[in-house]
Amino acid sequence: MVKGLNVVVLIPAFNEQETIAEAINSVPRKILGAESVKILVVDDGSTDATLEKAGKAKADRIVRLPSNRGLGVAFRKGIDEAIKMKADAVVNMDADLQFDANDIQKLLQPILKGEADMVTCTRFKDKSMQPQMPLVKKFGNKVFTSVVNFLTQQKFTDTQCGFRAYSREAMLRLNLFGKHTYTQEVFLSLVENDLRIVEVPCRVKGQRQGKSKVVGSIFGYSLKALLIIIRAIRDYKPLAFFGSIGTAILSLGTAIAGALFVRWLLTGLTSPFTSLISVSALLIIVGFMLIILALIADMQGRQKKLQEEILYRLKKQEIEKI
């Protein structure tokens, strides 16, 4: 087991004046296998007394964003600050008391044992721990988890829960772009870098106590999360993304052209479907161009991996200088 880790507990917060102090005070300052436990609060442009109450609760470091940028931005800023604090591991938890801070020990154990690079809380793996939540939200969680599992070829049970622990290696490897949320994108990024992800069942409250909610509406959240996933697929699997679209369009155009050609052979006529000749030609051209784009994007994807490796090494060197 790895011992003497510097652990940073990251708490992003937006308008959580009612719960932020209790969330900070609930974090255990002594964890088995950890040399130190520090609390980092990222205030995402709160307009209430969140900042003041976090200061009175004696968080070790508070970072304030000038305006509300979104949970994804707050999380990325927190990871950057945790690296500057020489964190060997960071645990992310919400400020709304949805999670039990005593479970931080459970999340850290696989990292302390060197068995995982990211450990995430799962609300659904253990049936006895499943929280009460609206059916539409539970259905949405299942859909997004299925999508992430399909893209990563893994069998996760909960890819939306934000209660997670990250090793330093995971922190350095993360390259995220989503503003609204980050939960699904993290899986795609870490799996792409061959890092180990482990799920640990934890009991989570189904109803949030704080005022801020990432899920302002189920439809709005789903749309934004879906866009993040689509962009991640575009970036991490460009050949499959553009190639599948191009192949589908090319196949449709070829099928229409083939049907018209058979009709012409049998009847000597293309009417009343003559206009479809132009449509099929356009589809064939667009599909072919998308396939070419897929090959170019795949080549750019290789360059992206090289750039990420350079960025990783630069981050590592920066840590060694701190």
Band of pLDDT at residue 48, cut at 50, 70 and 90:
very high
Q: Return the DSSP state at 211.
A: S
Residue from 49, 9, 48, 45 nearest 26 by CA: 9
Spatial separation of the C-alpha atoms in residues 152 and 149, rounded to whole Å: 5
Instruction: Give pLDDT, residue 211.
Output: 46
Residue 48 sits in the same domain as residue 117: yes
The answer to whether residues 202 and 248 belong to one domain is: no
pLDDT of residue 208: 57
* pLDDT for 221: 63
Cα–Cα distance for residue pair 215/221, rounded to 1 Å: 5
Distance CA 122, CA 147 (A): 16
Q: Looking at the structure, do residues 84 and 121 belong to the same domain, yes or no?
A: yes
Query: Average pLDDT of the chain?
Result: 88
Same domain, 224 and 245: no
Q: Is this model's pTM higher than 0.75 or not?
A: yes
Backbone angles phi, psi at 26, to 5 degrees: -80, -15
From CA 183, how far away is CA 176, in angstroms rounded? 10
Residues 253 and 128 in one domain: no
CA distance 179 to 187: 16
The region of weakest confidence among 247-251, 270-274, 276-280 is 270-274
Task: Write down which residue in 236, 256, 286 finishes a domain.
Answer: 236
Q: Is 179 in the same domain as 53?
A: yes
pLDDT at 181: 77
Rounded distance, CA 41 to CA 59, Å? 7
- Kindly state whether residues 18 and 163 are assigned to the same domain: yes
Task: Among 135-144, 162-171, 188-197, 244-253, name the one with the lowest average pLDDT.
Answer: 135-144
Q: In what order do the strands lie in the sheet with 164-167?
A: 61-64, 34-43, 5-13, 89-92, 164-167, 118-122, 197-201
* Residue 317 pLDDT grade (very low, low, confident, very high; cuts 50, 70, 90): confident
Q: What is the count of structural domains for the chain?
A: 2
Percent of the chain whose predicted confidence (pLDDT) is above 90: 56
Mean pLDDT of all residues in 274-279? 92
Are 88 and 196 found together in one domain?
A: yes
Looking at the predicted structure, is the pLDDT value of residue 2 above 70? no
Pick the last residue of a domain from 236, 252, 267. 236
Are 279 and 313 within one domain? yes
Say if residues 209 and 98 touch (Cβ distance below 8 Å). Answer: yes
pLDDT beyond 80 at 127: yes
CB 284 within 8 A of CB 253: yes
Of 236, 271, 297, the domain-final residue: 236
pLDDT digits (tens, 9 = 90+) for 199-245: 999 988 865 554 444 445 566 766 777 777 787 778 778 888 899 99
- The answer to whether 11 and 4 have CB atoms below 8 angstroms apart is no
CATH of the domain at 80: 3.90.550.10
At 66-114, the pLDDT tens digits run 999 989 999 999 999 999 999 999 999 999 999 999 999 999 999 988 9
Q: Which pLDDT does position 207 carry in this prediction?
A: 59
**Residue-number span of the structural domain to which 43 is assigned:** 5-236
Looking at residue 235, what is its pLDDT?
Answer: 78
Of residues 109 and 134, the one with the higher pLDDT is: 109
> Of 177-181, 259-263, 273-277, which gets the smallest average pLDDT?
177-181
pLDDT over threshold 80, residue 30: yes
Question: What is d(CA 39, CA 90) in angstroms, rounded to the nearest whole number?
Answer: 10
228 and 283 in a single domain? The answer is: no
Whole-Å CA distances, 263 to 258, 266, 267:
9, 5, 6
Same domain, 48 and 174: yes
Q: Same domain, yes or no, for 259 and 164? A: no
